[in-house]
Structure 1
Amino acid sequence: MRATRTLAASVPLGLAAAFAAPGAAHAVDAGVEYTCQVPVAGATKAVVALSLTASPANPGAGETVTFAWKAEPVAQLAGPVAYDANSIQVSAVLVLSGATTATVQLSGPRTNAAVPAGSPLPLGEMTGTATVGADGQTVVTPGKLVVDVQRQPRPISVACEPVNPAPLLTLESAADGAEGADGAAGDDDSDGTVLPIALGGGAVVLVAAGAGVWMMRRRAATRT
């Protein structure tokens, strides 16, 4: 009997796994350390706790990816003066490398509640888009962050650079019928069969053979 091809997602053995449908968003929570140039105070270290979402998570070449950034208020950037409502606007850059090389400009609206003196600086939400240039892995790394505060008698600008930036997330994309990790050309076994895959520790999940997510192929010989 011919060997049966099984599909295994790249999830560590023994961990519970959730298999997302093709096109689902990819989200990550992270803390990014920046060095910010603050007027009067000078160079100031600040850690920004953020959530970054990329949608879709597995884009194909030529497809547009939308990035959504949401950050918590930053205590290290608290100012000695109060800021009016709708006076703060934030912009940032994401750096793409790997299959797609580009910079993504993120920006958000100038909408914020009034900020009392000495309170953490709100960064709010930003969005931006990029077009995937090629199939493969694209690594997303944080870049420059700028906070612009409109106030009298003059505006305040705080420019921040990431300290030893690490990747936030990786986008995976592959052309239909692409060669699998075992080197086999894309002969189609996707007949709708549901295949059991052991994750270790006795846990078993069921995966449809035609599922369009980035997967590693493993051959398991069957006995006749």
Structure 2
Amino acid sequence: MSAAGVALMLGGAGILLAAAPAQAAEVSFKTECVPPAISGMPPVQGTTKVQITAPAEAKVGDEVEVVWKTVEAASKNPDVLDLEKDTVKPTGVIKVGGAVTATLAMEGPRQNPPIPKNSPMVLPDMKGTLKLEKAGEITLTPDKYTINVSKPMSTDTKCSPKETVAVGATIKVTDGGGGATTSGGSTSGSSTTGSSGSTTAGGSTSSSGGGGGGGGGGRTDFPGKEVSVQFACQSPGPATITSKVTIDAKKNGGSYDLTVKTAKGVMNSPAPLPAGALKPSMAVKLGGADSGTVKVEGPGNPAPLEQGKPVDLPDMKGTYKPGATGTSTLSPGTLTITVNLGGSPIVIPCQVKGSVQASLELDTSEQPGGAAGGGDAAGGTTSGGTASGGGLADTGAEDDGALRALALVAGTVILLGGAVFTFTPWTRLRR
């Protein structure tokens, strides 16, 4: 969401007002839909037809509901797989123009009738709410949208206009006022990160900074503070993972033994997985006086995972050898999830998206061969973590979000939203 114009208020924050009857206008535009990279499929070309509904008039201070109805998606459900009931969830963006310039995030429920093969995609309506804080004429123009299908695995098909799109609706805002604020919705990516490193959402800011300072005075244990992190994952992983992360340190001579924990949270296992199949690691980012990264690693899951049952990520451990003298910070970095079923492992890197606060500050003393200026895994070694620890938080796409892309399907080629996916047979999963 952009940093000016209107406030997006999803999830019932405030009372929706409309000072004039709602209007609805249908627009169509050429669209390119891009399947996940794992599919190897070229983009799909088609036409999207959208109907935007919004009040014709409103006053400064009103909160108005905007509805996006997809009359026709850019492509059909291909002749490969029937989509089950309530497995399709759309999200999208509306460009706000005229008196203000902003973007409005839209979200629909995971709700649809069964969609047979070779039939039109049926998408539920998406909704968003604008808080109007400036007088004038405001235009609403549909823009890019994403179709998520949760079964038999979570996949995203991303669609964007390939021509100038006509305005879908216009709101005349009367009784002029001051500026406007922005606030985040309930979907991933609905907040913005400013240049100061703070995260803006719901009209408030969370400033970045270190935590758990220490390193001297005879102390040996240095607990970090819990910080929020959003990860952007490569295919076949989920688009994003949002989790709380804590970095703790224990002084060991001139070095520090690190323990990284993800927040407690529920994630359903995407498939039956044998013990030891799923293993996390992270590149902890160094800042302040020091630089580089320290790799920490967790063990595989200690027991077999049942499909649909909660999964926790184990603690990740490693050793940090300081490469500089001064105050050094430790922050969450790239999270990597590896699934090994015997053969070539599936490696899913998840990069930190936007700014993130430091979890820990340490008063460090330079050690020979330390981390300053080093690259990945500089200044540290890794060791297996304990089997206990935090769970991977959900992705913002309900309980069937995070890592459902690992639901490897039985020797089947699946076509979802115009994309083909080939996965490991169930027999390998069972091994």
Give the TM bin, normalised by the shorter chain: 0.5 to 0.7
Q: Is the 8 A contact 1:66 1:127 kept in 2?
A: yes
Q: Is the 8 A contact 2:31 2:47 kept in 1?
A: yes
Q: 1:23 aligns with which of 20, 23, 38?
A: 20
Whose Rg is larger?
2
Match of 2:200 in 1: none
How far apart are the structure 2 equivalents of 1:73 and 1:168?
15
Moved over 4 A (4+): none
Counting only pairs closer than 5 Å after superposition, residues 146-157 of structure 1 correspond to structure 2 as 146-152=146-152, 154-157=153-156
Match of 1:78 in 2: 77
Q: Name the count of aligned residue pairs.
A: 154
Q: Classify the secondary structure of the residue corresponding to 2:103.
A: strand
How far apart are the structure 2 equivalents of 1:32 and 1:124?
19
In proportion to residue count, which structure has more strand? 1
Shift of 1:98: 2.0
Identify which of structures 1 and 2 has the higher relative contact order when contacts are C-alpha pairs closer than 8 Å and 6+ apart: 1
How far apart are the structure 2 equivalents of 1:99 and 1:173?
9
Question: What is the aligned-residue identity percentage?
Answer: 25
Over residues 169-198 of structure 1, what are the superposed CA-to-partner deviations in whole Å (9 max), with x where a residue is unaligned? 22212228xxxxxxxxxxxxxxxxxxxxxx
Match of 2:272 in 1: none
Q: Is the 8 A contact 2:45 2:74 kept in 1?
A: no
1:61 aligns with 2:60: yes
How far apart are the structure 2 equivalents of 1:86 and 1:136?
40
Over residues 94-139 of structure 1, what are the superposed CA-to-partner deviations in whole Å (9 max), with x where a residue is unaligned? 1112212222111111111111122111122111101112111112
Q: Is the 8 A contact 2:31 2:74 kept in 1?
A: no
Over residues 60-109 of structure 1, what are the superposed CA-to-partner deviations in whole Å (9 max), with x where a residue is unaligned? 22211211121234362423321111100001111112212222111111
Shift of 1:150: 0.8
Match of 2:380 in 1: none
Letter of the structure 1 residue corresponding to residue 119 of structure 2: S
Farther-moved stretch of structure 1 (167-176 vs 91-100): 167-176
Q: Classify the secondary structure of the residue corresponding to 1:124.
A: coil
Q: Is the 8 A contact 2:28 2:48 kept in 1?
A: yes
TM-score norm. by structure 1 comes to: 0.63
Match of 1:133 in 2: 133
Considering only aligned residues, what root-mean-square deviation do their CA atoms show, in Å?
Answer: 2.1
1:34 aligns with 2:31: yes
Q: Is the 8 A contact 1:46 1:77 kept in 2?
A: no
Q: Is the 8 A contact 1:100 1:132 kept in 2?
A: no
Q: Is the 8 A contact 2:19 2:59 kept in 1?
A: no
Counting only pairs closer than 5 Å after superposition, residues 108-147 of structure 1 correspond to structure 2 as 108-147=108-147
Letter of the structure 1 residue corresponding to residue 32 of structure 2: T
Q: Is the 8 A contact 1:100 1:133 kept in 2?
A: no
Match of 2:192 in 1: none
How far apart are the structure 1 equivalents of 2:74 and 2:116?
12
